[in-house]
C-alpha cells in the first residue's frame, strides 16, 4: 500500500496556533481525548512536524480547541 505524502506543510501553522493559545502539546492532546479522539502525544507531535497526515476529525477538533478558522491552518501556503 502506497503512503500518501502531505502536499502542504500545515504542521507549522498547527504549532503556531497552539503557541498562540499558550497551550502545551499535552494540553491539546488531553482536550482532543476528551472530545473522543484517541490520539497520543507522539502522534500529535507528528502532526506538528508534518510526519503524519492530519485527519479531518483532528483538524475540526483543533479548530475548536484553538478557536480558529480553517483558513488559519493554511495561512501562508500556496498551491502551485
Domain housing 15:
10-73
Average pLDDT over residues 40-60: 95
- Region of residue 36 (phi > 0: left; psi between -120 and 50: alpha; otherwise: beta): left
- Residue 5 predicted with pLDDT over 90: no
Q: Could you read off the pLDDT of 65-79 as tens digits, one per residue?
A: 999 999 999 988 765
Domain membership of residue 52 (yes or no) is: yes
Domain membership of residue 43 (yes or no) is: yes
Domain membership of residue 34 (yes or no) is: yes
Angle at 41 between CA 17 and CA 19, to 5 degrees: 20
Give the sign of the dihedral formed by CA 6, CA 17, CA 70, CA 56. Answer: positive
CA atoms within 13 A on the CB side of 17: 24
Domain membership of residue 27 (yes or no) is: yes
- Read off the CATH number of the domain in which 67 is found: 1.10.260
What confidence score (pLDDT) does residue 76 get? 84
Amino acid at each position: 500500500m502506497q503512503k500518501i505524502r502531505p502536499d502542504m506543510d500545515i504542521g507549522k501553522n498547527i504549532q503556531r496556533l497552539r503557541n498562540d493559545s499558550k497551550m502545551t502539546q499535552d494540553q491539546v492532546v488531553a482536550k482532543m481525548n476528551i472530545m473522543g479522539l484517541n490520539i497520543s502525544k507522539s502522534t500529535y507531535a507528528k502532526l506538528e512536524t508534518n510526519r503524519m497526515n492530519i485527519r479531518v476529525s483532528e483538524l475540526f477538533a483543533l479548530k475548536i480547541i484553538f478557536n480558529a478558522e480553517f483558513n488559519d491552518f493554511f495561512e501562508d501556503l500556496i498551491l502551485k
